[in-house]
């Protein structure tokens, strides 16, 4: 079946550091890929998405590129802020519309 | 404002006492879904609904019921809650485009504790 694997956290960084969260997937067909962010005490918010190979999703300084050859969708941000502290979820949506989420990666950014 | 609302946000109950968590969306979305979030397991889908009167099991449906009598509402029912249903629950909704679920939008979550 479909699955999403993302790196375990917590990831602790200093402000202005570079952030990478790895995400790989297994799916049949041509899934869409998503990153969601969950701030403390809140629900999940869509951060960015990509619907086909080589698409790059971007939002709020975050980027991720859909790499079909490596089945990956790694999230990156060049200079993190304390306000980026949150849990980040990688997810896929298969051809039939079923979503599969990764376990989540907690990111802690210190001043 | 477009949103998904859930009530209650927090609930502590005892084993066996029936409860309902409500979910409502104002975006006229066809698709609605319930998830539970547990540490280290991410989000797991409980039930989903592609439209009114159409519901189906997700990955972890045991111990839960749902109904979809109106497009905007999708309540989650625990007939006889047990401690292993202690979790954080999220409702989500989405448009269905050409028969395929589009991007999901999530409610704020309901933290349930079953003693």
| pLDDT in 10s for each residue of chain B, 115 residues | 879 999 999 999 999 999 999 999 999 999 999 999 998 888 899 999 989 999 999 889 999 999 999 999 999 999 999 999 999 999 999 998 887 888 889 999 999 999 9
CA B75 – CA B99 distance, rounded (Å): 23
Nearest to A6 by CA among A74, A85, A92, A77: A74
Contacts of A34 in chain B (CB under 8 A): 103
Q: What are phi and psi of B42, to 5 degrees?
A: 65, -150
Out of A45, A96, A102, the one facing B42 most closely (by C-beta) is A102
> Which pLDDT value is given to residue B77?
98
Q: Does A89 touch chain B (CB under 8 A)?
A: yes
Count, in order, helices (H) and strands (E) of chain B: 0, 13
Contacts of B41 in chain A (CB under 8 A): 103
Out of A95, A96, A101, the one facing B43 most closely (by C-beta) is A101
Angle at A104 between CA B30 and CA A91, to 5 degrees: 40
pLDDT in tens, chain A (111 residues): 889 999 888 999 999 999 999 999 999 888 999 999 999 888 899 999 999 999 999 999 999 999 999 999 999 999 999 999 999 999 998 877 788 999 999 999 999
CA A62 – CA A74 distance, rounded (Å): 10
> Which pLDDT value is given to residue A106?
95
> Using one digit for the tens of pLDDT, what is the confidence trace for B42-65?
889 999 998 999 999 988 999 999
CA B37 – CA B57 distance, rounded (Å): 17
Q: Do B41 and A103 touch (CB under 8 A)?
A: yes
Out of A43, A93, A98, the one facing B106 most closely (by C-beta) is A43
Quick count: other Cβ atoms within 10 Å of Cβ B112? 21
Asked if A86 contacts A19 with a C-beta cutoff of 8 angstroms, the reply is no
Residue of B nearest to A6 (CA): B42
> Which pLDDT value is given to residue B41?
85
Substitution target in B90, B93, B101 with the highest count of A β-carbons within 10 Å is: B101
Q: Do B105 and A46 touch (CB under 8 A)?
A: yes
Q: What is the CA radius of gyration of chain B?
A: 13
> Which pLDDT value is given to residue A19?
97
- Distance from CA of residue A109 to its chain's centroid? 17
> Which pLDDT value is given to residue A40?
87
Nearest to A93 by CA among A29, A33, A50: A33
Out of A42, A93, A104, the one facing B108 most closely (by C-beta) is A42
Asked if B32 contacts B93 with a C-beta cutoff of 8 angstroms, the reply is yes
Q: Does A45 touch chain B (CB under 8 A)?
A: yes
Distance to chain B for A78, nearest Cα, Å: 26
CA B58 – CA B31 distance, rounded (Å): 13
């Amino acid at each position: 079946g479909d699955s999403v694997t993302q790196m375990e956290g917590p990831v602790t960084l200093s402000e202005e550091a570079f952030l990478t969260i790895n995400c790989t997937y297994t799916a049949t067909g041509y899934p869409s890929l998503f990153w969601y962010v969950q701030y403390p005490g809140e629900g999940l918010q869509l951060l960015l998405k990509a619907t086909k190979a080589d698409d790059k999703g971007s939002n709020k300084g975050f980027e991720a590129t859909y790499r079909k050859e490596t089945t990956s969708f790694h999230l990156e941000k060049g200079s993190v802020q304390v306000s980026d502290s949150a849990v980040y979820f990688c997810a896929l949506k298969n051809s039939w519309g079923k979503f599969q989420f990764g376990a989540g990666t907690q990111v802690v950014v210190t001043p | 404002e477009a949103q998904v609302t859930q009530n209650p946000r927090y609930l502590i109950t005892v084993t066996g006492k029936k409860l309902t968590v409500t979910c409502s969306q104002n975006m006229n979305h066809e698709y609605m879904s319930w998830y539970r979030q547990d540490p280290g397991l991410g989000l797991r889908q409980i039930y989903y609904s592609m439209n009114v009167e159409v519901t189906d099991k997700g990955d972890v449906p045991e111990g839960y019921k749902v109904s979809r009598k109106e497009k905007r509402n999708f309540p989650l029912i625990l007939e006889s809650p047990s401690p292993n249903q202690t979790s954080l629950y999220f409702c989500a909704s989405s448009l269905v485009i050409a028969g395929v679920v589009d991007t999901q939008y999530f409610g704020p979550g309901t933290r349930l504790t079953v003693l």
